[in-house]
Structure 1
Amino acid sequence: MINTTLISSQVLATSGVQFGTSGARGLVVDFTANVCGAFTAAFIKVMQQNHSFNTIAIAIDNRPSSESMAAAIAATAKQLNIDVVYYGVIPTPALAYAAMQQSIPCIMVTGSHIPFDRNGLKFYRPDGEITKQDEVSILNSDCQYQSIEVLDDLLVNDSAANLYVERYTRMFSDKPLSGKCIGIYEHSSAGRDLYPQVFEQLGAEVISLERTDTFVPIDTEAVSDEDCQKAINWSAELKLDAIFSTDGDGDRPLISDENGHWLRGDILGLLCAEALKIEALAVPVSCNTAIELSSKFAKVSRTKIGSPYVIAEFSALATEFNTFAGFEANGGFILGSDIKVNDTLTKSLPTRDALLPAIVVLVAASKVNLSTLVKQLPNRVTASDRIKNFATQRSQQIISKGVENPQQLLAQLGFTEQLVSCTDTTDGLRMTLQNNDIIHLRPSGNAPELRCYAESSAETAAKGYVSRVLGKVTSL
């Protein structure tokens, strides 16, 4: 069998795989062994420019295609004389945390919340997520590697899973969730074997819900009507205090109150940051303005959507504040600084994490209902949804016209009675109306989808904006 010498930049240029808001994403059929090899070779070369290492770590989600992609990554790393530690199926933040403790790079094979016919790769430097400039360097790297003809089986190392569980169970010396009954909607989440351990060690009774070997693409920013009804039914039937779940790779949380009502991710992030007494925040422009209205933080910086942009803002916050963090509308909490909880040091984890906000907020609600904590926040409600299979170019054209004449776009969307008071083009087009309600359109960075976000003082109004906009935009 003859191996062919390949050049990473040439392979990637014709692969059909692109970087999105967080990682490289594409169709499974485009993630061939040699495309995975190209990303791996280029990533290692870029990392070697500023870091010294002889090992990389790999983990995967439960998608049918993920294991073979990991094997291709491992095969390429070995070609380049880099050892591989394979952690199997674990949450993305568990992989990132374990690799950071060893000061080595890592690659997570996951498509997060997108459908199973797609997949992706997330890359981490020894100190956290790669930057947007790192992405450019990876795509342009002319690293040579050999075509991959044989994929070997990988042996699973359990240490990262154990370390992740310990990170959160050691935060509390007592059992702060004693008396609480928590349902875990397991579906196909990468962390489904770990979450019961954590909540049980914190004192909770755990009930596992709807585990499946079929991959479920849960989007925590656009929860399906079916999953909303499931949570309500589970809470009523099982008398649950909360339900916890995540997206496919366990970096975006989904948590319900005692009534089975899912919390919006940015509300969960706000409650977590408040409970941790975080001084300063970096959050995407799409997040709820209740963050500023709460007056709980010395500074709130708004960024483009995507964890790399939030993390990039941490360097500025670090010059002014001792504790800083970020979160996204999808609920992923990004701990930018070390913090102390109950006199226990918890190290920073500059990547999205689903488990930290869930634990912290449930502990904060240990003496009251979770819904009570939410009601104490400023009365601002957000809603969001998306149109699937909506060409990115078409989304961009609609938004470009809206930037030129936002009032005209608003009228075309059916809101002739409303006036635009100001716009924000940080990421897409975010229109604030004269009544302080918000409509925000943005192409997804991960898939051909058009997302709509809305904010109002009433849930029905926020949902109404999203429904009307997505109903009208297809005819523009």
Structure 2
Amino acid sequence: MTSLSFGTSGLRGLVTDLSGEPAQRWTAAFLAHAGTRIASRTLLVGRDLRASSPSIAADCLGAANAAGWEAVDCGALPTPALALEALRRGAAAVMVTGSHIPDDRNGLKFYAPGEITKADEAEIRTAFEALPADLPPAGDTPGDSTASALNTYRSRYLNAFAPDALAGLTIGIYQQSSVARDLLVDLLSSLGAETVAIGRAERFVPVDTEAHRPEDIALLRESAADGRFAAIVSTDGDADRPLVADGVGEVLRGDVVGLLTALHLGARTIVTPVTSSGAAESSGVAAKVVRTRVGSPFVIEAMEREVAGGSEGVLGFEANGGVLLGSPVSIDGRSLAPLPTRDAILPILCTLAGSKARGLSVGAFADTLGAGQALADRLKNVPASASGPFLTRLAEDDAYADALMAEAGPIASRDHLDGVRFRLEEGSIVHFRASGNAPELRVYVEAEDPARASTLLRWGLATAAREVGASPT
């Protein structure tokens, strides 16, 4: 038995189940599949800053050498930087990262050269199962090293934004263990901001931009208490999800950051999962909104359909704030090419530059959307064997769903696109969904009133915990 499985974005599981031979075998299986898709025989390998990532990256590089591929060590860098380099070279890539999950877990994200699809995942699993019991020994050499991927990614944004785009702003950078912590200081300073680094960590910190840790919320509010910051920004571990707090330390929802990015870039078509709030439609930012299941592969697939159908200004974002750019855009006369993978740096820059260009604080800029109240949290240590039957019963047994939801209010409509999402007759939303990346059951709520949203979230967590036999905290 192994904890390794594909989730909403890549293969993840316990470090003890991934390190060594498993990482080598999954890399070999990926290369067997990638070799049928691309002409290049180069594998780029990047990693985040968690303790296990350097050794797992070495496993991947060694497996590539053993398979006869050129192995290139790109070092520690943001996932979107590695993805950009893979697209630039037409090469395959593996990012060693567990994103926001705890340090005892890690994972592999695959690119060939773009982000792999769910169909690719199935073929990689098939290739993995077909591997011989004994693989060629992994090469001892770590492969060639390069810093070009990070430099190319840095230049992408320095060339797209004016040198004074952030002039006059003082920005706090919550560094924790984000792989982009030094890059953020560099980029924002280069674009005119005064930057102040806070909270740098020596050990990995699992920052989840959808379910914030109380200690992170407290740190942001305390750091902003003296009023010196226009905003405080950060990312998750591999820098494909942004965290943006306003001048008083209040965190902007990820879907709000995505909408502000779409507004600043003039996006005409938005693609976003069902977990993003109804503000995607009600704000009127874009003429068209396309909803998908949760996971960047589904967002990318829908963006590709829109582009192929002739849509322009196509931008995707997830409820965690990660932005995927499907079409070329222009920022004050400067062009920015598509990057169809989740990215944290673009939404951070657009939120800050957009607020400055409009003469608004970050909080006031967000308020222009009229986004209402949306909250989310999770029950930890809920395996699929517990969450699956609960969600299936909610979806298929109307009498059970009506009885369970009665305390929240009468149900007006139900959506089963990803999990089970209820719209109540008074307009509020309650959405139950199993995480694709970890043994967690997530609860999402929307309401016009903050108190109502908080009440619904507490009720949803307690109710789900009771049904699956989990702790509500």
**Aligning the two structures, in what range does the TM-score lie when normalised by the shorter sequence?**
over 0.9
Q: Is the 8 A contact 1:281 1:300 kept in 2?
A: yes
Q: Which residue of 2 aligns with 1:6?
A: none
TM-score, structure 2 as length reference: 0.94
Q: Which residue of 1 aligns with 2:177?
A: 188
Q: Given the alignment, which residue of 374, 381, 406 partners 1:389?
A: 381
Q: Which residue of 2 aligns with 1:105?
A: 92
In the alignment, is residue 297 of structure 1 matched against residue 286 of structure 2? Answer: yes
Q: Is the 8 A contact 2:259 2:285 kept in 1?
A: no
Distance 1:108 1:183 in 2: 28
Q: Is the 8 A contact 1:77 1:84 kept in 2?
A: yes
- Does 354-363 or 415-424 show the bigger shift? 415-424
The secondary structure found in structure 1 opposite 2:160 is: coil
Matches within 5 A, 1:17-416: 17-126=4-113, 128-141=114-127, 142-144=130-132, 146=135, 148=137, 152-153=141-142, 156-237=145-226, 239-318=228-307, 319-366=309-356, 367-406=359-398, 408-409=400-401, 411-412=403-404, 415-416=406-407
The secondary structure found in structure 2 opposite 1:300 is: strand
Q: Deviations over 1:31-68 (max 9, x none)?
A: 03211111111111111112100211010001111111
Q: Is the 8 A contact 1:384 1:463 kept in 2?
A: no
Letter in 2 for 1:327: F
Distance 1:29 1:116 in 2: 11
Q: Deviations over 1:393-448 (max 9, x none)?
A: 211111112113456436436x4261000000000000000011000000110111
Report the alpha carbon displacement of residue 119 of structure 1 after superposing the two structures with TM. 0.5
Q: Is the 8 A contact 2:428 2:446 kept in 1?
A: yes
Identity rate, percent: 38
The secondary structure found in structure 2 opposite 1:345 is: strand
Distance 2:419 2:171 in 1: 37
Structure 1 spans left out of the alignment, 5+ residues? 1-13
Going from structure 1 to structure 2, the CA distance change for 1:376 and 1:149 (only over 3 Å counts) comes to closer
- Does 241-250 or 397-406 show the bigger shift? 397-406
Letter in 2 for 1:37: Q
Q: Is the 8 A contact 1:406 1:431 kept in 2?
A: no
Going from structure 1 to structure 2, the CA distance change for 1:99 and 1:338 (only over 3 Å counts) comes to same
Report the alpha carbon displacement of residue 15 of structure 1 after superposing the two structures with TM. 4.3
Report the alpha carbon displacement of residue 331 of structure 1 after superposing the two structures with TM. 0.4
Letter in 1 for 2:73: Y
Going from structure 1 to structure 2, the CA distance change for 1:376 and 1:391 (only over 3 Å counts) comes to same
Q: Is the 8 A contact 1:182 1:243 kept in 2?
A: yes
Q: Given the alignment, which residue of 398, 412, 428 partners 1:437?
A: 428
User: Once superposed, what is the RMSD of the aligned Cα atoms?
Assistant: 1.6
Letter in 1 for 2:318: E
The secondary structure found in structure 2 opposite 1:245 is: strand
The secondary structure found in structure 2 opposite 1:53 is: coil
- Does 318-327 or 202-211 show the bigger shift? 318-327
Report the alpha carbon displacement of residue 315 of structure 1 after superposing the two structures with TM. 2.2
Q: Which residue of 1 aligns with 2:471?
A: none
Report the alpha carbon displacement of residue 392 of structure 1 after superposing the two structures with TM. 1.4
- Does 297-306 or 371-380 show the bigger shift? 371-380
Q: Which residue of 1 aligns with 2:419?
A: 428
Distance 1:72 1:353 in 2: 26
- Does 339-348 or 90-99 show the bigger shift? 339-348
Distance 2:39 2:139 in 1: 28
Distance 2:402 2:238 in 1: 36
Q: Which residue of 2 aligns with 1:7?
A: none
Q: Deviations over 1:90-121 (max 9, x none)?
A: 11001111121111110000000001111000
Report the alpha carbon displacement of residue 376 of structure 1 after superposing the two structures with TM. 1.3
Q: Is the 8 A contact 1:15 1:35 kept in 2?
A: no
Distance 1:184 1:224 in 2: 17
The secondary structure found in structure 1 opposite 2:21 is: helix
Report the alpha carbon displacement of residue 194 of structure 1 after superposing the two structures with TM. 0.8
Going from structure 1 to structure 2, the CA distance change for 1:411 and 1:147 (only over 3 Å counts) comes to farther
Going from structure 1 to structure 2, the CA distance change for 1:73 and 1:299 (only over 3 Å counts) comes to same
Distance 2:250 2:162 in 1: 30
Letter in 2 for 1:347: A
The secondary structure found in structure 2 opposite 1:178 is: coil
Report the alpha carbon displacement of residue 172 of structure 1 after superposing the two structures with TM. 2.2
Structure 2 spans left out of the alignment, 5+ residues? 468-473
Report the alpha carbon displacement of residue 379 of structure 1 after superposing the two structures with TM. 4.1
Going from structure 1 to structure 2, the CA distance change for 1:166 and 1:38 (only over 3 Å counts) comes to same
Q: Is the 8 A contact 2:67 2:136 kept in 1?
A: no
Report the alpha carbon displacement of residue 454 of structure 1 after superposing the two structures with TM. 0.5
Report the alpha carbon displacement of residue 152 of structure 1 after superposing the two structures with TM. 4.6
TM-score, structure 1 as length reference: 0.94
